[in-house]
Chain A
Amino acid sequence: MVEEDFKRQINSLSKVIDDLDYYQILKVDQMSFEEDIKRAYFEESRIYHPDKYYTDPPEFQQKITAIFKRVCEAYRVLSDPEKRPFYTKLINGPDRKKYLRFDLRLLKAETEKAEDEGSSPLAKKYYKMAKTAIQNKDFKAAKINLQLAIKMESKNQTFLDKLKEVIDILASRKGL
């Protein structure tokens, strides 16, 4: 059986876990090296891994699994060279509470923002029209506008990628 002390510890951790950031969950410093993060993940796993409590009552297993999931999630983000700095910036910002759990969509949006929207005014305009068309799911119009934008700036990778995306969508729709 699980000791009463440990049960109490799990209960109180369950209550506060939503207010902890990933560094706090793994009990590591924001400046830690990668190896420290891995070591912490292994240490925390030795405490919270649900397999150690497989024969315990289901309620307890549920609680410990919920905690262990957060440990895994914390490790997933903090061990990733792209996710970690992005996450760290957000939890140190004014909206800390909102960002305690990592959201893949935010990172994707950020990468997309870094796109090259064109340098000539005309190319910019066509690209903008293409994006509006994509939003309205008018992929044919999007394709034409992108082709026009590429005529202006044939080496713009953002335009080329978007065009490929749109062509793929059109193709997959045809297949339906």
Chain B
Amino acid sequence: MGRAVGIDLGTSTSCVSIVKDGKPIAIPGPDQNLIQASVVSFLEDGNRVVGNSAKRMMIENAENTVYSAKRLIGRKYFSAEVKKAQAVSSYKIVEGENQSVRIRVRDRDYSVPEVSAMVLMEMKKIAEAYLGEEVDKAVVTVPANFNDGQRQATKDGGTIAGLNVLRIINEPTAAALAYGYGKGLKQKIAIYDLGGGTFDISILEVGEDVYEVISTAGDTYLGGDDFDDRLIDYFAERFMREHDLDIRSNRMALQKLKNASEKAKIELSEKLETRVLLPGIMETMDGPIDLDYTINRNYFGQMVLDLIQRTFKVCDEALQNGRLTVGDLDALILVGGPTKSPMVQEAVKNYFFKDPAGEVDPELVVSIGAAIQAATLTERKAGALLLDVTPMSLGIATAGGLMDTLIERNTPIPTESSRIFTTTHDNQTAVRIKVFQGENKFYEQNEPLGEFRLADIPPAPKGDPKIEVTFEIDANGIVNVTAKDKDTGRAQSVQLTVSGGLSKDEIDKLRKEHKDKDEEVATFKPTAELSE
């Protein structure tokens, strides 16, 4: 039997941790770094490179290097978010079957969970090299505000990677767990998690070993990537005005500008001013043209002010739903790379009237929390008990266009709710139920989760069959549906079509494929060295 680890599968970076002799630690990769870029670069010879070394290939291999795949996971091809990603990505995003998203690299289409699986496999390998043992189980984290489809797709990624996903837990909850570990706290805490692609705020009450999420809210499309995009647009527009050339129309140039913009952003966390110099970024008939601009922190601050303000709207929502004010909070914890920026820190401090807890590493804390949860689940020591909630309401479509809410947001999970369904004409043998997640009272405005079909209903006069359908949200935040005949107690079959998702067969097939490929590669490589 293999070991269990905790993995923070981030938009920009990923991290793997374990609990070793009662102490949770993050594990260094082959380059000794504790965090790895969530980047996969597909090489010409059919091999692929994952992690920090893949990030370095982003320019030379721009079209075949996939990054920020998490922004696409569990989304439908026609969604606004996918359109946005398409506009700024240097790799190709295409439509797959059943409204799904596919990433096209070197003439092959990959599903998004498959790309996630490649990152997860890399994290698995890093842990195995460190432990000198097989790793086959993991707790994987997701943004608290991920919906059912996004959670399911993340879990599928784990399965494809050959991992038994013990649990999907929420990133801010994991951070709280790491913060409180072994401290015996009795506090109300706020976790402000601004990552590369997503923003979450969770408010928890910690009672020694129990971690209760009082409320959570988030924006799954708001993060450091958006800060970069502001800089990219600013530089590209300025360049366009001066030279009448659009950098964004050239994939490699865009990629160079993207890297430089991120670098400039990070430098502005340390310095008040920075210079961006890209020699010969564009070629013209008259020779190459350089991009050479300086930008200062204040000006950048104004460019992203609205993005930072947006996070506070979400914070307002979370506090209101928890019937709390900032005065009720005992501690504030900052998570995610962008919170290293003094501008963000200042704004957050002003909002919460509080200094953030100093001892947490914003980039490791999530994966450490995941490792603590993995240990709790596998070692029977029950280090910490999580009482989490569902981030959005679950409901079904009704005839008038309204959503019948079965489970409200911020309901503690696991939870379930039932409804009785019947037929509307004689001898009807099937009933369709459309399921949605969201807060709008009209179901059309909410996120469609899928359609359930109650089949093989025994023929009877209309209104006679009474089928009890139970909608469950499990500890992973994933929705399960079961049905039974109310009169006979017999289980009733339910078929589910999730829009955009992978089928069980597809997942199995991919898992085998990746396993075979891995074994093939392994025969060429010397066995991983043990590092301590």
The answer to whether A76 touches B385 (Cβ under 8 A) is: no
A23 within 8 A of B: no
Q: Identify B414's interface contact among A54, A69, A104, CB under 8 A.
A: A69
B458 within 8 A of A: no
Interface string of B256-280 (1 = CB under 8 A from A): 0000000000000000000000000
Q: Identify B380's interface contact among A55, A169, A172, CB under 8 A.
A: A55
**Residues in B213-233 with C-beta less than 8 Å from chain A:** none
* Nearest-CB residue, chain A, relative to B401: A169
CA distance A79 to B376 in the complex (A): 28
B212 within 8 A of A: yes
B526 within 8 A of A: no
The stretch of B127-135, B304-312, B404-412 in contact with A is: B404-412
Name the A residues within 8 Å of B400 (CB-CB): 134, 137, 169
In the assembled complex, how far is the CB of residue A18 from the closest CB belonging to chain B, in whole angstroms?
13
The answer to whether A54 touches B377 (Cβ under 8 A) is: yes
- Chain B contact-residue range equals 20 to 34
In the assembled complex, how far is the CB of residue B405 from the closest CB belonging to chain A, in whole angstroms?
6
B292 within 8 A of A: no
- Chain A contact-residue range equals 20 to 34
A22 within 8 A of B: no
Q: Identify A104's interface contact among B386, B401, B405, CB under 8 A.
A: B405
The answer to whether B414 touches A137 (Cβ under 8 A) is: no
B346 within 8 A of A: no
The stretch of A42-50, A116-124, A147-155 in contact with B is: A42-50
Name the B residues within 8 Å of A38 (CB-CB): 205, 212
Question: Interface of chain B, helix or strand or loop or mixed?
Answer: mixed
The answer to whether B385 touches A49 (Cβ under 8 A) is: yes
The answer to whether B387 touches A169 (Cβ under 8 A) is: no
**Residues in B383-418 with C-beta less than 8 Å from chain A:** 385-387, 399-401, 404-406, 408, 411-416
A52 within 8 A of B: yes
In the assembled complex, how far is the CB of residue B376 from the closest CB belonging to chain A, in whole angstroms?
6
* Nearest-CB residue, chain A, relative to B383: A51
B445 within 8 A of A: yes
The answer to whether A45 touches B210 (Cβ under 8 A) is: yes
In the assembled complex, how far is the CB of residue A42 from the closest CB belonging to chain B, in whole angstroms?
5
The answer to whether B385 touches A52 (Cβ under 8 A) is: yes
The answer to whether A76 touches B401 (Cβ under 8 A) is: no
Name the A residues within 8 Å of B382 (CB-CB): 49, 51-52
The answer to whether B413 touches A72 (Cβ under 8 A) is: yes
Name the A residues within 8 Å of B404 (CB-CB): 105
The answer to whether B385 touches A45 (Cβ under 8 A) is: yes
A65 within 8 A of B: yes
Centre residue among A50, A104, A105, A175 by max chain B CB count within 10 A: A104
Q: Identify B445's interface contact among A55, A105, A172, CB under 8 A.
A: A172
Q: Identify A46's interface contact among B323, B385, B406, B445, CB under 8 A.
A: B385
CA distance A46 to B387 in the complex (A): 11
Name the A residues within 8 Å of B97 (CB-CB): none
Name the A residues within 8 Å of B387 (CB-CB): 41, 45, 49, 72
In the assembled complex, how far is the CB of residue B369 from the closest CB belonging to chain A, in whole angstroms?
14
A113 within 8 A of B: no
Q: Identify A73's interface contact among B377, B415, B475, CB under 8 A.
A: B415
Interface string of A11-55 (1 = CB under 8 A from B): 000000000000000000000000000100110011001111011
Interface string of A138-176 (1 = CB under 8 A from B): 000000000000000000000000000100110011011
Q: Identify B376's interface contact among A51, A75, A105, A176, CB under 8 A.
A: A51
* Nearest-CB residue, chain A, relative to B412: A72
| A positions within 8 Å CB-CB of B | 38, 41-42, 45-46, 49-52, 54-55, 65, 68-69, 72-73, 75-76, 81, 104-105, 134, 137, 165, 168-169, 172-173, 175-176
7 A-B pairs closest in CB distance: A72-B412, A54-B377, A52-B382, A49-B385, A42-B210, A172-B444, A169-B401
Q: A41-B387, A73-B412 are in contact. List 9 more A-B contacts (CB 8 A).
A: A45-B385, A46-B210, A54-B376, A54-B378, A65-B414, A69-B414, A69-B415, A72-B413, A169-B442
